[in-house]
Structure 1
């Protein structure tokens, strides 16, 4: 049986960045811009000096990090609740809804130009919509220091992943990397599909909130990302079942993910000892006040206080509900320079690994993952 571990950051499509051999002219792929770069030269091997994002190629180190400590988190979206026009940061942009209640697509707004007030409104907007795609961004050409200090840290304490790869000297980035010779992703070859619905690192005492994902390089097609609304998933359940779930908590564990790396997979590195934490099965979002399911097949292990058969039955029902709920899911098609923001507290997602890196090219991206509050269920 394949170990179920975190499906590392979702595949996107932004830039086509690979040069042809000297004998061949540059090829322009539909929907992509830029020069093509040689994806045979990658992390751990000969570096392609023409590739503009070598600073972000994956590395692994054996440095050991201490356990994470609790901290007080105040969601910046709370400030936007006081704003008379909380969507003024979208003025001049074009906003379309992916579905009526879940997901938005925005063009004409540059994330790098937002001030503190704009970022507060952004946090509220993502909390309300669950997942938001921003098109045609200049995001990927910012410095690592800007990514971490000016952007990610505004939304919470930056999480350092215990097992994933990161750019040299910048462990706060969680990297996606897959080329024709290697992958640092978790993928499955012994199942019908590689998709696994999950929310990121929910085993932490304070799991992530507003999360940012972008790619430096990717295939010309394929690699969409699917998202599901945990708010809508909760609302679809019967009132009596919702009430029962609100009495329950579940264990979320990072042990299996660490053991996967200790077995020599990924980079074979475990920089922080794995933890398990108990979280409510239904949580409240601090900005919107809405309730959402908070379980995922990747990291949720069992319901506290129930017998195994009872726990497995309830959790499998909820996992099946998430996976089959196409009327509260969206599938994001990535375009050049797109950036995706989602609220990890109220969504789950799955990579769609439908491309062949040997033929279709390299996928190289980064996730910035600020932590949020400890999950809680507000009393009625």
Structure 2
């Protein structure tokens, strides 16, 4: 069953235009004093299982589909996300699972349509501490401008920003979509993604053997501390979970490195010094893995659809002295992360396919 707090329906008596609201009011989110029950466990049925392996519903109807890098990132032209058929939605799940992140430009989809599309991929997550638009608790708002306090960013390097959304939940997000509809100018506000598949593949055989089967603690304590400091509600009491360091995607069957500096804090079963050393190496590995990263230059009304299970992403805050950037995110939850000894790396899978064709 889906978690009871994931089926909150927006009251559409008077629909909100978030883009216009951001233009008029700037930061418009509210922080209601709302408490939720803990998110109940549920069985996730990934729509990617229903997909056509050739994804013909997308490729036969788009104007153009092309890869941005060999390892991660695909761009689709000529399709509107608010007009996808059921088959196209399923095929998109498979494309995103395989490519990590898929980009669409010039999209008409509004926040209500985004909510409905998101429900196709799983129960919608409601954030434990962040603000949201009035009457839309399922929506995570992205808004920063020249008035944003800079102190938080001064204490971090750009590499510290890598994260997979709310990975501290028992069943973290899978397919996720973000629409950016306001940009600071002609330059600034890009976002980077990295492939967890390729991050795993780039490890040596000995390191792969070492990290497989390890588990790491993911925590949202920093977000809770920020909420307490600001006097905002903490809506649930669970914000720490243990997940495998290498997980397997349920549709592709590929192994992915599942750690990032945003929420991964320690390796279970290792001493603090050992854990710190391993995480320091793995964080450096993903931060410097430019051969399995993609950097997307947004245009207004672009949408990124990515799989939080097999990617991490990093927003580039190079515009806080330039202008504002606004968008909204819809975050469906997926299965509890798991490791499967029968899983294969993406590289192994590609070699096997190539061998079958010869």
TM-score (norm 1): 0.80
- 1-structure distance, mates of 2:300, 2:260: 30
Aligned to 2:232: 268
| Structure 2 counterpart of 1:204 | 169
Q: Name the residue aligned to 2:4.
A: none
Q: Note the alpha carbon deviations across 1:328-379, whole angstroms, 9 max, x for none.
A: 111000013210011000001111000135xx33222111000000000112
Q: Is the 8 A contact 1:40 1:180 kept in 2?
A: no
For the residues of structure 2 that align with 1:186 and 1:155, how far apart are their CA atoms? 37
Equivalent in 297, 301, 304 of residue 333 of structure 1 = 297
Matched, 1:98 2:98: no
**Cα-to-partner distance string for 1:250-285 (whole Å, 9 max, x where unaligned):** 111112220121111xx7332222421111000000
Matched, 1:166 2:139: no
How far has the Cα of 1:194 moved from its partner? Answer: 7.2
**1:72 matched to 2:43:** yes
Residues 116/330 of structure 1: CA separation in 2 closer, same or farther (3 Å cut): same
Once residues 186 and 298 of structure 1 are traced to their aligned partners in structure 2, the CA distance between those partners, rounded to angstroms, is: 18
2:181 and 2:302 in contact (8 A); partners too: no
- 1:239 is matched with 205
3-state SS of the aligned residue for 1:327?
A: helix
In the alignment, structure 1 residue 346 sits paired with structure 2 residue 310:
yes
Equivalent of residue 255 in structure 2, options 274, 285, 291: 291
Instruction: Kindly state the Cα deviation for residue 195 of structure 1 after the two structures are TM-superposed.
Output: 5.0
Deviations 1:19-62 (A, max 9, x none): xxxxxxxxxxxxxxxxxx9957434xxxxxxxxxxxxx411111
Question: How far apart, in 1, do the equivalents of 2:70 and 2:336 lie?
Answer: 29
Residue in structure 1 matching 2:326, options 348, 353, 364 = 364
* TM-score, scaled relative to structure 2: 0.85
Is 1:176 the counterpart of 2:123? The answer is no
Matched, 1:223 2:189: yes
Q: In the alignment, which residue of structure 2 is the partner of 1:278? A: 242
Change (3 A) 1:285 1:250: same
Gaps of 5+ in 2: 1-18, 343-358
Distance 1:193 1:228 in 2: 14
Distance in 2 of aligned mates of 1:64 and 1:87: 44
Whole-Å separation in 1 of the counterparts to 2:22 and 2:296: 27
Q: Which runs of 5+ in 1 are unaligned?
A: 1-16, 19-36, 44-56
Cα distance in structure 2, aligned partners of 1:194 and 1:121:
33
Q: Which residue is equivalent to 1:152?
A: 118
Runs of 4+ in 1 over 4 A off after TM superposition: 37-40
Q: Give the Cα separation in 1 of the matches to 2:313 and 2:205.
A: 25
Aligned residues, how many? 322
**Structure showing the higher helix proportion among its residues:** 2
Corresponding residue number in structure 2 for 1:376: 338
SS of residue in 2 equivalent to 1:188:
helix
- CA distance, structure 1, for counterparts of residue 198 and residue 113 of structure 2: 35
Q: Which residue of 2 aligns with 1:54?
A: none
